[in-house]
Amino acid sequence: MLTSDKFRDECGVVAIHAHPEAEKLAYLGLHALQHRGQESAGIVTSDGERLRQHKSMGLVADIFGHDVLSSLRGVLAIGHTRYSTAGDSALLNAQPIMVQSNKGTISIAHNGNLVNAQAIRAKLEGQGSIFQTNSDTEVLVHLIALSREQTLPDAIADALRRVEGAFSLVMLRRCTARTRT
């Protein structure tokens, strides 16, 4: 992870709720936020049952053509355009991050800095956690999955109590009959 004593406020996140063309609005939102990051971009959508994801390196307009947006149809969407403040410039670190966990399928996009991410990551790795990226956002995913709280909202709240910094998050989860109750 990169360390710096300078404030960085780059990256952009967007979320769309309950719109029949959420993927298109997410694209337009990311296009408007392109100035906040030109490294990579991604969108995750939900049709209420399934999450669909596309992310790549490059500019929003180059990543999301008509065919890609058509494959992302949904009524919910989150998106991210990246300027790396932590982690390498690589597709592996592009967001949103989508994972299967004991709390269900979740997707998360993050803007900001978790100032204690390195310390938390070192502790989690010492306890056996395996990380696939070197983005500090993945620390949040691990904290949510490892939370002793039973529900996803409670696990998110528990994870957020453990991190320090200034940040914005947008998240989606796959709904099932079990998670709708």
15-73 pLDDT, tens per residue?
999 999 999 999 999 999 999 989 999 999 999 889 999 999 999 999 999 999 999 99
Catalytic residue of the set 10, 11, 34, 64: 11
Separation in Å, CA 110 to CA 15, 41, 65, 71, 131: 11, 12, 24, 23, 17
**Cβ-proximal residues to 88 (8 Å cutoff; 6+ apart), any chain:** 134
pLDDT at 4: 47
**181 or 142: whose pLDDT is higher?**
142
Query: Which of 78-87, 114-123, 128-137 has the least mean pLDDT?
Result: 78-87
Contact 164/116 with Cβ under 8 angstroms? yes
CA atoms within 13 A on the CB side of 94: 21
Fold of 12-173: Glutamine Phosphoribosylpyrophosphate, subunit 1, domain 1 (3.60.20)
175 is catalytic: no
Question: Does pLDDT of 181 surpass 80?
Answer: no
Alpha helices by DSSP H, 128-168? 137-146, 152-162
pLDDT at 86: 58
Angle between helices 137-146 and 152-162 (to 10 degrees): 130
Q: Where are the domains of the chain?
A: 12-173
Angle between helices 137-146 and 117-126 (to 10 degrees): 50
Read off the pTM: 0.89
